[in-house]
Structure 1
Amino acid sequence: MTLSSENCSEFQYQVLQRSQTLDANCLLFLIILGKMLLNILTLKMRRKNIYQNFMECFCISLAFIDLLLLVNISVIFYSRDFVLLGMRFTKYHICLLTQIISCTYGFLHYPVFFITCIDYYLNFSKTIKLPCKWQKSFYFSTVILIWIFVLAYVLGDPAIYQSLKTQGTSPSQCSVYVSVQGYWFSFSMVIILFMAFVASWPDIYTLVQAIRITSYKNETILYFPFPSHSIYNINSKKALLPRFVICFLGTWSPFVLLQVIILLFKVQIPAYIELNIPWLFFVNSFLIATVYWCNCQKLTLQSIVLPRDPFVNWKCCFIPFTINNFEQIEKPISIIVC
């Protein structure tokens, strides 16, 4: 029995198409697995003695959703074709599921940003003070509602739903969703950082030359010395801005450089990769610095501990202002040579 030339070509095309689909699914599995490992590593590296806040709860929920996505992709990829609760699942549903998650992630930037800002404002002003148990419950309830509302919006929009349905039934049309919100959010942060760096460049240059690493209450901090006759104080935005820029870039400079490269070369990053826990902690540090700087007139030594950053020790920006004769109290460990 021999195969005709036409049948042979059709058979080769089907094998090639199946091979490309499997390769794409394997690549997607490896990407999600790598993101999961990065999420776990970041959560392990953060400070453990920070108070509970909205961003912290959202990061935990994001890690959980990524885990669910990884499990579902693995089950569908392994089973290939199965029926569950009257619905038939095939390898094409991997694309559909990824597209739904990508669209959901892509619409989460602005809501998470605004709610985090409100959370920090309320905690900073101390207008509302809830017991710790109720506060955690409120945060997790808010996170769940955000996920539900955004997912309902994605599935309820006729245009988005039709696009997802079309792409989910054909592997050749399985394009990835790139978030516009994520692009403009990164662009805004980079521009603000650039403007702050340029505006405070002379002070940054002077501070970097004089920075010392010292210890305070058994914690290693940066010490920014100022002359005793300096008119700067904790309520001075001009004095705090270069310190914030140094602390922020000292921690997140590789991430800032990555954002600049992505924006300059217009790299298209799928939303399910772009929204990750390291990026959220990067945004979190930026928001905390902004809240501190905008409310520097209200700062006292007691209010400095709220909110605290999982990665940046903002306290070192204020200690020389708030403690008299700091140089006599603590001896520097070393001096940074620039």
Structure 2
Amino acid sequence: MNVSIPSILLGLGGKCLLNWTLVFLQSNHICKSFLGVFSMSLAVVDTAQTLVVSTLHIHADGYVLLLDFMLTRYHICLLVQILGQVYSVLQWPVVVVAALDHFCTVMWRLQPTTARARVIVCVFVTGLLWYLTAVYVLLLSDFTPVLEDDSYNQIHRCWVFHTSQILQVSTCLLLTLGCAALHAGSNTQLLKNPPLNVQTTDQTHSRRNVVHQAMHIFLNSWALSLVFLAVLLLLPMGIPAYLGLNVAWLCFLNSLLITVVLCAACPASQLAQGLAAVPPDSFCKWRFKFSLATEDRA
């Protein structure tokens, strides 16, 4: 799809504003998880991209000399397409790494002494992901930029690729969440027969309790976003690749991954005794309530 350069600038500017607003809102715990560190790096990359595109577009001569290399409006389209492809490729690796990070946080409560080491690891993994993805897109993939044949002075529109990874990721995670809920419900249905083991019964009820509370907390905060994703699934409309990866999407992904991990692992006894840590989340209040009887059994 051909998009005018001013429209691209408007989209990038709005994306940068949204990115930094959400980063500052989460400043108290932005460096306590992989997704927080990656969100900061994404905001920096988007800001650099917006500044470069703006400089090339508003320059009166239509080009800028940088280290004896002439940058023109061709490079606006080239940069937008390359970074859009990088953002699309990054979607699944970010999901996998963030899920592992959340799982380790929930199942093994990290000590304060490991906080600095955790930040270093997150920064290293973030830089490694950006580097490997850029190498893959530029050298190993079959990605081919689409550029106009006109002179750089006459270029006013760029071809923009669309991304479908957001819908793929959200659909996969929501299906996983649904399967975890069905699994907990099916275990509860089996309890209609007299149980042979009281401890197994308590564990099953605790599992159902965690799944129910986790899904309730998630839906209270992100119900409208789920409706928006459902509309995107039904309508034949695409998301521009250069806008697909943003901090708002990462915040939604953070809450969704926390819900999936809690429903899949269901650390009921750890949560009841305060031995399980929930990853930082600025949009969902992950507070679980358990009955005294359940806590005693746990």
Q: Percent identity?
A: 25
SS at match of 1:83: strand
Distance in 2, Cα, partners of 1:107 & 1:64: 18
Question: Between Structure 1 and Structure 2, how many residues are aligned?
Answer: 270
Aligned counterpart, 1:112: 94
Aligned counterpart, 2:78: 96
SS at match of 2:239: coil
Distance in 1, Cα, partners of 2:102 & 2:285: 17
The question of 1:55 aligning with 2:3 is answered no
SS at match of 1:107: helix
By how many angstroms is 1:240 displaced? 2.2
Aligned counterpart, 1:153: 136
**2:270 equivalent among 299, 307, 310:** 299
Q: Is the 8 A contact 2:5 2:158 kept in 1?
A: no
Taking structure 2 as the reference length, what is the TM-score of the superposition?
0.79
Which shows bigger deviation, 240-249 or 143-152? Answer: 240-249
Q: Is the 8 A contact 2:218 2:284 kept in 1?
A: yes
Distance change >3 Å, CA 168–CA 186, structure 1 → 2: farther
Distance in 1, Cα, partners of 2:110 & 2:216: 32
Which shows bigger deviation, 98-107 or 47-56? Answer: 47-56
Aligned counterpart, 1:13: none
By how many angstroms is 1:244 displaced? 1.8
SS at match of 2:236: coil
Distance in 1, Cα, partners of 2:246 & 2:157: 25
Distance change >3 Å, CA 306–CA 190, structure 1 → 2: closer
Distance change >3 Å, CA 183–CA 293, structure 1 → 2: closer
**1:188 equivalent among 161, 172, 187:** 172
Aligned counterpart, 2:214: 244
Amino acid at match of 1:307: P
The question of 1:33 aligning with 2:33 is answered no
- CA offset digits 1:163-210 (Å, max 9, x no partner): 21x426665994222224323112223444566788999xxxxxxxxx
By how many angstroms is 1:82 displaced? 2.4
**1:314 equivalent among 263, 286, 291:** 286
Aligned counterpart, 1:277: 247
Coordinate RMSD, CA, aligned: 3.1
Distance in 2, Cα, partners of 1:308 & 1:143: 18
Taking structure 1 as the reference length, what is the TM-score of the superposition?
0.70
Distance change >3 Å, CA 169–CA 41, structure 1 → 2: farther
Distance change >3 Å, CA 324–CA 52, structure 1 → 2: same
Aligned counterpart, 2:115: 132
Larger Rg: 1
Distance in 1, Cα, partners of 2:164 & 2:93: 14
Distance in 2, Cα, partners of 1:126 & 1:200: 22
By how many angstroms is 1:293 displaced? 2.0
- CA offset digits 1:213-243 (Å, max 9, x no partner): xxxxxxxxxxxxxxxxxx7679722222222
By how many angstroms is 1:245 displaced? 1.9
Q: Is the 8 A contact 1:124 1:303 kept in 2?
A: no
Which shows bigger deviation, 137-146 or 41-50? Answer: 41-50
**1:179 equivalent among 152, 163, 179:** 163
Q: Is the 8 A contact 2:103 2:261 kept in 1?
A: yes
Structure 1 unaligned runs (5+)?
1-20, 202-230, 326-338
Distance change >3 Å, CA 50–CA 39, structure 1 → 2: closer
Task: Work out which structure has the larger RCO, using CA pairs closer than 8 Å and 6 or more positions apart in sequence.
Answer: 2
By how many angstroms is 1:65 displaced? 0.7
- CA offset digits 1:144-180 (Å, max 9, x no partner): 11101101111113631xx21x426665994222224
SS at match of 1:159: coil
Structure 2 unaligned runs (5+)?
186-200
Amino acid at match of 1:40: W
Distance in 1, Cα, partners of 2:110 & 2:289: 27
